[in-house]
Amino acid sequence: MTWVNAVLQGVFLGGLYALFACGLSLLFGVMRIINLAHGDIAVLGAFLIWQISTSFGISPFLALIPTLVVMLVLGYVLQKTMLTRALRGGPLIPLLATFGLSIVIQNGLLQVFSADVRSLGGQAGPIAHASWTITDQLSVPVLGVVVLATAVAVLGGLQLVLRRTGVGREMRATAQDADTAGLVGVPSSSVYARATAIAVATATLAGMFLALRSTFSAASGPTQLIFAFEAVVIGGLGSLWGTLGGGIVLGVAQTVGAQFDPQWSILAGHLVFLLILATPRGRSLDLGGVRA
Amino acid sequence: MSTTERAQRPATGTGYRVSRSSLTSWLGSLGFLAVLVVLAFVPIAFIPVVIQQTTSFLILVILASMWNALAGYGGLVSVGQQAYIGFGAYAVIFLTQRDVEPYLSIVIAALASGVLALVVSPLLLRLRGGVFAIATWVVAETIGLIILMQASLGGGTGVSLRALNVYPVADRRAYTYWITLAFTVVLLGAVLLLLRRRTGAALQAIRDDEGAAASVGVRTRPLKLILFVLAGVGCGAAGALTLANTLFIQPQSIFGVQYTAFMIFMVLVGGLGSFEGPILGALVFFVAQNEFADLGAWYLIGLGLVAIGFALFLPRGLWSLIGDRLPGPLLPIGYRLRSNKS
């Protein structure tokens, strides 16, 4: 039964990774860039929520609203100032520039908030630790369900926007061929700015849930970036539902690995990822779904 | 070599000739040799702190050149070269625990890191761009985690290189310096040779546009493999030498992604895709580290901002400002068309 429990916890953990991953996946799908600062942006969001929540004594869920506004603006500005310019410099420059940004955010947070490990669990009230007990060894954490539901809602919502709305059509057109989309009156720069804003907002959401279910510090970003990226690659690059599947595969690998030995948790996730990279079809399980 | 003969034949028959060397490249080569001779005498002429600092600087030169070989010429942005840095350092620990002579261990460790690169290359080299970048990072994390679990290698608390204690301190410092200098010469020499031979034209074609290079018949895969393995050997050597220079390592720091941050900074500031740029970048970084490292987080924020600035506004780095003003390349790489009249 402990194994069933491990798998179940892994599925919920996978929801969190999918939430981290969807912004990464969207930016890759639309702009063909991997944002190496994605994890640090999520952690920045978590710190803002923590700051607002502790200063005003309000629930993190309430603090999320002003934070989202700030982060959306930040994402828009980031796109307009840095990414647009980086995209013009060829394929290497966005990688190098976002890696630089990652260093800046990480150390900026370190400078402002010190190296202390924090958690939002305390501010959130009972929801952070409550769970439904099914049997002695099997329990369903409320927060895990909330995270998974949020991940499904965000991924489903994104999918719906991409498939059914004019904004989504513009994004898909730009993703396929930015120049041709520009010819028919879809300016790539505003599409990119919207995509970046969405990616930053979902990263903030993921950062909040990370902070609610465990601890975070200024140095947490890179690890979350790696997990998000593993989820994206396992699920198939640019595929949104695949990302959810990838996140769950990674989460289950980690919790089942931890069942053998706590030291094995992260390593097991990496090994599953590398194993999937090594398969002859390579690069992904391709868990289906429409591509962004 | 037939390509050389063909290239040296006058292109149109009259008025022009093609040559490798120029006055600049003769002076440049002589300058490099002179610096090498001076460097060879550092342990005899200077105080210990200078020897140790120069060793650190040479390690930086190795790291920058290796990362530049990958990204600047192969288009391979690796965020995981710390895999080989850490592997090289721990291989020295592993070998000296089995009574292998420490300096011989460094050489073996460097070669073993090359073998590691060869082993993971089928997995990584079919990936591109950002996917390649993070996959190399995962490989580094994986190797770091595995070594962290080995109690015999010190686990998470770190481990000292005791085997070097058989040498008197002054001798040890000098030997470590000389072997670092030897590695620097061999590794940079290998890069230079790759650039000078026929592979050089191919590498520069891949640097400028990989798709176009492949379409005119450049076989990109074997070249990328050569660069990847060379960078594995170089970074492994850098890790092993760092251990010999500092005598203590911890898995968290030797497998840390900060090495990638430093390499990116050096190469971007110095000049991506040039031979001289990374050396210049290593010099700038070395000075910055000595001047500002006390500032802690502010120092790293500054490094990040400078790196972003160079990536966005001067992607060919400081060397492009100097190199473009010179009448020719400092080292005889590539060919030049010259008028016979001049």
Per domain, the residue ranges of chain B are 48-256
Checking if the pLDDT of A200 tops 90, the result is yes
pLDDT reported for residue B96: 92
pLDDT reported for residue A292: 41
> B312 contacts in A (CB within 8 Å)?
82, 85-86, 89, 93, 97
Residue A184 confidence class, pLDDT cut points 50, 70, 90: confident
**How large is the average pLDDT for residues A88-115?**
91
Checking if the pLDDT of A211 tops 90, the result is yes
Checking if the pLDDT of A280 tops 80, the result is no
- The closest of B175, B178, B171 to B36, measured between CA atoms, is B178
Checking if the pLDDT of B33 tops 50, the result is yes
Checking if the pLDDT of A288 tops 50, the result is no
pLDDT reported for residue B338: 66
* CB-based contacts of B318, cutoff 8 Å, min separation 6: B269, B270, B271, B277, B280, B281, B284
Share of chain A above pLDDT 90, in %: 46
Averaged confidence pLDDT in chain A: 87
Checking if the pLDDT of B103 tops 90, the result is yes
Nearest to A104 among B126, B138, B301 (CB): B301
pLDDT reported for residue B212: 84
CA distance A124 to chain B (A): 31
pLDDT reported for residue A108: 95
Amino acid at B205: A
Checking if the pLDDT of B2 tops 80, the result is no
B129 and A91 in contact by Cβ < 8 A? yes
Least confident of A55-64, A125-134, B106-115, B289-298: A125-134
Least confident of B13-17, B49-53, B145-149: B13-17
Calculate the alpha carbon distances from B169 to A284, B100, B165, B179, B332 in Å.
53, 19, 8, 15, 40
* Residue bearing the bigger pLDDT, B304 or B200: B304
pLDDT reported for residue B118: 96
pLDDT reported for residue B154: 83
**ipTM higher than 0.90?**
no
Residue B22 confidence class, pLDDT cut points 50, 70, 90: confident
Residue B39 confidence class, pLDDT cut points 50, 70, 90: confident
DSSP classification of residue A118: B
Checking if the pLDDT of B112 tops 50, the result is yes
| Euclidean distance between CA atoms A153 and B76, whole angstroms | 36
Size of interface A-B (CB pairs under 8 A): 117
Residue A148 confidence class, pLDDT cut points 50, 70, 90: very high
pLDDT reported for residue A182: 86
Six-digit token string for B272? 């991506």
Residue A53 confidence class, pLDDT cut points 50, 70, 90: very high
**How large is the average pLDDT for residues B197-223?**
82
Residue B95 confidence class, pLDDT cut points 50, 70, 90: very high
pLDDT reported for residue B163: 85
Nearest to A226 among B77, B123, B137 (CB): B137
Nearest to A95 among B130, B146, B296 (CB): B130
Q: Which of A27, A32, A95 has the highest number of chain B CBs within 10 A, making it the mutation to test binding with B? A: A95
Q: Which residue has the tokens 């490249």?
A: B25
Output the CA angle B124-B111-B231, nearest 5 degrees.
45
Averaged confidence pLDDT in chain B: 86
pLDDT reported for residue A38: 95
> B127 contacts in A (CB within 8 Å)?
277, 283
- Is pTM beyond 0.80? Reply is yes
Checking if the pLDDT of A285 tops 50, the result is no
- CB atoms under 10 Å from CB of A185, counted, come to 7
Checking if the pLDDT of B5 tops 60, the result is no
CA distance A98 to chain B (A): 8
CB A101 within 8 A of CB A220: no
**How large is the average pLDDT for residues A182-192?**
86
Q: Residue ranges per domain, chain A?
A: 3-280
| Euclidean distance between CA atoms B80 and B141, whole angstroms | 8
B126 and A266 in contact by Cβ < 8 A? no
pLDDT reported for residue A142: 87
Sign of CA dihedral B24, B29, B33, B38: positive
Six-digit token string for B303? 């490094």
* CB-based contacts of B157, cutoff 8 Å, min separation 6: B250
B315 and A271 in contact by Cβ < 8 A? no
Six-digit token string for B118? 């060869």
CATH T-level fold of A3-280:
ABC transporter involved in vitamin B12 uptake, BtuC (1.10.3470)
Distance of CA A167 to the CA centre of its chain: 22
| Euclidean distance between CA atoms A29 and A191, whole angstroms | 12
